[in-house]
């Protein structure tokens, strides 16, 4: 057994996890919680994130606003740019009051430069997104969301223009705090490949439902809420620079980088060995998908919970 001790709010909490060598799901070892990107690391980070209220995930006040936020924030748009575009669209929706927005109005709003942290940024594919947004908002009126369970609502949203399984899942998770769907974006895919929950060649474009099933099965086995795990992975992975990421994962999962990357943990391991502390060097077999030295306090302190 391994025990996680953390201060959460005004109190200290304790989380007991299985031994690192045990599997959380077949073929995926728990690993050590202080080793970044192991299963135990993610479960402990999600636990430290706390228990959110369903409304904590929401970006919009209505389902129409949530649809606009997720449609504009997906498809490779950086989160900050998507939120800036959504803020402009939400104001226009509020002024109209009917949940609709003509394509030409949306295009004009999205074409004008956005203010993102004091920088003027152009929103990509403004014309296409404006058309999809207008058509999706119109189609949303024909979906009786209150009569549908989470997965059924996700499938209904997928029939709308510009909305695929990831965006539809994002809308449902945000609106309902749902644990029945998964938002398999690039950050979640990368984290799950490193853990071994997904195979290295996993492609959500060809097998979203099966990958979602694997992710939800992992969360269930780990006794972690899928919505919280998803949000924790997203917030953590997007905050890791490519250079740091390449230092803590095995070669098959690394970003391509022409610069020389120092072996992760080499200096730390040498220092620990000099102090007589048991250390694991780069020649030793690492945890699945991770590089870390020994059993001391890990470098996970650089990776803060969401």
Q: What is the pLDDT of residues 245-302, one digit of tens each?
A: 888 887 777 666 444 444 444 454 444 444 443 333 333 333 333 333 333 333 222 2
Res 46 pLDDT > 70? yes
Cα distance between the two ends of the chain? 25
Choose one of 129, 158, 176: the last residue of a domain: 176
Q: pLDDT of 108-147, one tens digit each?
A: 999 999 999 999 999 999 999 999 999 999 999 999 999 9
**pLDDT recorded at residue 192:** 97
- 105 lies in a domain? yes
78 band by pLDDT with thresholds 50, 70 and 90 = confident
Q: What is the CATH number of the domain that holds 118?
A: 1.10.340.30
Q: Are 61 and 167 found together in one domain?
A: yes
* Least trusted range by pLDDT, from 72-76, 99-103, 254-258: 254-258
Does residue 29 lie in a domain region? no
Report yes or no on whether pTM surpasses 0.85: no
Final residue before a domain boundary, out of 107, 141, 176: 176
Is the same domain home to 156 and 268? no
Neighbours of 192 (CB within 10 A): 25
Q: Is residue 4 part of a domain?
A: no
Domain end point (choices 153, 176, 199)? 176
* 281 and 170 fall within a common domain: no
Q: What is the dihedral of CA 60, 65, 69, 72, to 10 degrees?
A: -170
Q: Is residue 161 part of a domain?
A: yes
Contact present, 54 and 150 (Cβ < 8 Å) = no
Number of domains the chain contains: 2
Tell whether 171 and 274 lie within a shared domain: no
**Residue 170, domain member (yes or no):** yes
* Confidence (pLDDT) at 76: 72
| Residue 36 included in any domain | no
**Residue 192 domain-assigned (yes or no):** no
Q: Are residues 64 and 165 in the same domain?
A: yes
- My answer on whether 262 and 171 are in the same domain is no
Does residue 168 form part of some domain?
Answer: yes
Residue 63 belongs to what domain range?
56-176
Q: How confident is the model over 216-240, as a mean pLDDT?
A: 96
What percentage of the chain has pLDDT greater than the value 90?
72
Dump pLDDT digits (tens) for 137-183. Answer: 999 999 999 999 999 999 999 999 999 999 999 999 999 999 999 99
Question: What integer pLDDT is reported at residue 8 of this predicted model?
Answer: 81
pLDDT at 256: 63
């Amino acid at each position: 057994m391994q025990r996680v001790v953390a201060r959460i709010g005004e109190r200290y909490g304790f989380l007991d996890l299985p031994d690192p060598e045990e599997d959380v799901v077949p073929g995926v070892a728990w690993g050590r919680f202080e080793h970044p990107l192991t299963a135990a690391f993610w479960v402990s980070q999600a636990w430290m994130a706390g228990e959110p209220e369903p409304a904590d995930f929401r970006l919009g006040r209505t389902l129409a606003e949530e649809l606009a936020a997720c449609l504009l924030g997906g498809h490779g748009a950086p989160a900050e740019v998507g939120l800036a575009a959504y803020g402009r669209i939400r104001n226009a929706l509020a002024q109209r009051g009917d949940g609709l927005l003509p394509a030409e109005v949306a295009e004009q709003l999205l074409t004008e430069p956005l203010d993102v942290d004091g920088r003027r940024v152009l929103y990509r594919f403004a014309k296409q997104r404006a058309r999809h947004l207008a058509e999706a908002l119109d189609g949303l009126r024909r979906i009786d969301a209150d009569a549908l369970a989470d997965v059924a609502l996700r499938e209904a949203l997928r029939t709308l223009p510009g909305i695929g399984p990831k965006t539809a899942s994002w809308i449902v998770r945000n609106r309902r705090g749902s644990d029945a769907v998964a938002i398999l974006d690039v950050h979640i895919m990368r984290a799950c490949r490193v853990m071994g929950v997904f195979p290295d060649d996993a492609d959500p474009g060809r097998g979203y439902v099966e990958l979602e099933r694997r992710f939800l099965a992992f969360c269930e086995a780990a006794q972690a809420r899928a919505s919280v795990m998803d949000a924790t992975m997203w917030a953590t992975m997007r905050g890791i620079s490519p250079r740091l990421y390449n230092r803590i994962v095995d070669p098959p999962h690394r970003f391509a980088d022409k610069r020389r990357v120092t072996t992760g943990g080499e200096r730390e391991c040498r220092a620990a060995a000099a102090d007589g502390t048991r250390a694991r060097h780069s020649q030793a077999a690492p945890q699945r998908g991770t590089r870390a030295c020994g059993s001391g306090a890990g470098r996970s302190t650089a990776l803060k919970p969401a």
